[in-house]
Chains A and B, each alone.
Chain A
Amino acid sequence: MLKDVFDYPNLHTALVIAGKTALIYLFLVAGLRLLGKRELGQMGLYDLVLIIILGNAVQNAMIDNDNTLGGGIVAAIVLLLLNRLLNGLIGRSTRVEAALIGEPSLLVSDGKVIASHMKRQGVSREQLDAALREHGLDSLDGVHMVVLEVDGTMSVVPRDAPVLKTRRHYRGLRLP
């Protein structure tokens, strides 16, 4: 019984699984980075579906038809370690953070729309107005700044800063 439960691949297979998993993760990071900031940030239903499908698409490429407990654990360790490493890099260097996560961009400064930033980020005036209304404002008067955050939400900072809260993504997702 114990032998059946604690089965593991031989060293060669384990190394192959580790190497393939690492490659797949790096490939996923590069691919997702190419999608760009707005797509990365919004995380609508479509993006979630994309991520789930990606996960399924790469499954067999990672573990290579290995059905052992040890094989799965090797792949899991590699993924967890690489993700930790990536987050460590993002946390340590603001340049890496800007390159991988993106930078927030200022859309409105002291009541004035910065047209060039709006254009570059692909934000329309209607979307900006919608964000203002969500914050209970009907015009740019009294707005100190509007910032397009890296998660795709727009933050509105009024001049006389009352407390307003924007919806957070992933609120319901909790790790055990």
Chain B
Amino acid sequence: MSVVLAAVKPISVHRVEVQAIKAAIVFVFLVAGFRLLGKREAAQLNVYDLAMLMALANAVQNAMTGGLGNFPVGVATSSTIIILAWAVTRVFRRHPVLEARFVGSPVVLVRDGQVIHPRLRGQRVTTAEVFEACRQHGIEGPAGCELAILEVDGSISIIPKRPGTDAP
């Protein structure tokens, strides 16, 4: 009995509401923060990005829960975030224009073997990453690419030149 009571420690409804709203604000803030400062190429996350993500998740933890290890608070904050994420996906499905605006559209990085450097800089992709993507698709470098495209999911797609169409 005492265990059950300890598990559902009484807490004011007001406090739970406050934490749920805080969780919503943190979520919105993080989405905006990633849009402004984050790397788009999520598939090319390096280990430092990953460390940043984990530290970030923990840094905002107490802002969301108020340092309360309370069961109702945990349920309220996590369901707030899940509902928000669900709502965002729903809005994107209704309005694909918004999705293109926020998630971005594919960007051509290499065309006919020519690396388009301004685009690389704009998307914060390094030349080394383009070479790596080429090799992983079994070609030596961008010279052998018809197209290299940065997809919205952050991976780099490579379309090799067809044999016989190689430029001299």
> Within 8 Å of chain A (Cβ to Cβ): is B57?
yes
Residues B59 and A164 in contact, CB atoms below 8 Å apart: no
B93 lies within 8 A of chain A by Cβ:
no
- Within the complex, which residue of B34, B47, B53, B138 is in contact with A32, where a contact is CB–CB below 8 Å? B47
Query: A176 with B135: in contact, given A54-B51, A71-B62, A145-B140 (CB under 8 Å)?
Result: no
The answer to whether B55 and A91 have CB atoms under 8 Å apart is: no
Name the interface residues of A33-80: CB closer than 8 Å to any CB of B: 40, 43, 47, 51-52, 54-56, 58-59, 62-63, 65-73, 75-77, 79-80
Minimum distance in angstroms from B59 CB to a CB of chain A? 4
The 8 A CB mask of A128-162 against B (1 = contact, 0 = none) is: 00000001000000001101011101011110011
Q: Is the CB of A69 within 8 A of B132?
A: no
Determine the chain B residues whose CB is within 8 A of the CB of A51 once the complex forms: 47, 50-51, 54
Q: Is A24 an interface residue (CB 8 A)?
A: yes
Are the CB atoms of A86 and B25 closer together than 8 Å?
no
Q: In the assembly, what is the distance between CA of A55 and CA of B34, in Å? A: 18
Nearest chain-A residue to B155 (Cβ)?
Answer: A168
Please tell me if the beta carbons of A86 and B136 are within 8 angstroms of each other in the complex.
no
Interface size, B (range): 35 or more
Report the Cα distance A62→B160, complex, angstroms: 47
CA distance A25 to B131 in the complex (A): 29
- Closest chain-B Cβ to A117's Cβ sits at a distance in Å of 15
Kindly state the interface size class of chain A when it binds its partner. Answer: 35 or more
Q: Are B138 and A4 in contact (CB under 8 A)?
A: no
Cβ contact within 8 Å between B43 and A170: yes
List of B residues within 8 angstroms of A120 by Cβ: none
Q: Knowing A52-B54, A76-B56 are in contact, say whether A83-B135 is a contact too (CB < 8 A).
A: no
State whether A67 and B137 are in contact (beta carbons under 8 Å apart), knowing that A80-B38, A87-B124 are contacts in the complex. no
Interface contact B121-A175, CB-CB below 8 Å: no
Query: Contact: B51 with A55, CB < 8 Å?
Result: yes
- B42 in contact (CB, < 8 A): yes
Residues of B with Cβ closer than 8 Å to A?
Answer: 14, 17-18, 21-22, 25-26, 29-31, 33-34, 37-39, 42-67, 85, 88, 121, 124-128, 131-132, 135-140, 144, 153-155, 158, 160
- Lowest 9 A-B CB distances belong to which pairs? A72-B63, A55-B54, A155-B135, A75-B59, A59-B58, A67-B67, A72-B60, A164-B138, A83-B52
A–B pairs, 21, beta carbons within 8 Å? A40-B46, A51-B47, A51-B50, A51-B54, A55-B55, A73-B29, A84-B38, A87-B49, A91-B121, A104-B135, A144-B140, A155-B132, A158-B138, A163-B137, A163-B160, A165-B137, A168-B155, A173-B42, A173-B45, A175-B38, A175-B42
